[in-house]
Amino acid sequence: MQRARFPCGAAFNTAPPIVWGEHLNEGRTVNSALYYPESKACADYVNTKSYKAWKDHAGDIVQKQECHLMKYPIVVNPDGSIHPIQECFPDAPGANIRGVESATIPDFMTS
């Protein structure tokens, strides 16, 4: 008997698309790609929606966010190097997207 590659059953077939749909503000009808999280179609769909959410968040005009999922503002190159889309987060001036090296962890991070 061959084992299934992914879990199956009512909970597995229903819950993940609904959770992704909630994060992406899909409402009751979720994109069919969300039923196949391992697929390129799903990755492309989530990347497109999350990138648009970042652009809305980082834009000059304040807008209502369409979804709760936002792309982290970096680009990863094929050679593994990264660079930020912009230098700082728009809602936290001085908060460098790449971060900074530090020998210690600030107290507010550990309390």
Tens-place pLDDT, residues 24-44: 888 777 888 888 888 999 999
Stated pTM of the model: 0.69
Q: What is the pLDDT of residue 110?
A: 60
Phi first, then psi: give them for residue 82, nearest 5 degrees.
-125, 155
Give pLDDT tens digits for 54-100.
888 888 887 888 888 888 889 899 999 988 988 888 887 778 888 77
* Alpha carbon distance 42, 93 (integer Å): 33
Give me Rg for the CA atoms of the chain.
Answer: 18
Burial of 45 (0-12, 13-18, 19+ CB in 10 A): middle
Q: Kindly indicate the confidence band of residue 48, based on its pLDDT and cuts at 50, 70 and 90.
A: very high
pLDDT at 6: 61
As given in the structure block, the two tokens for residue 30 are: 């979720």
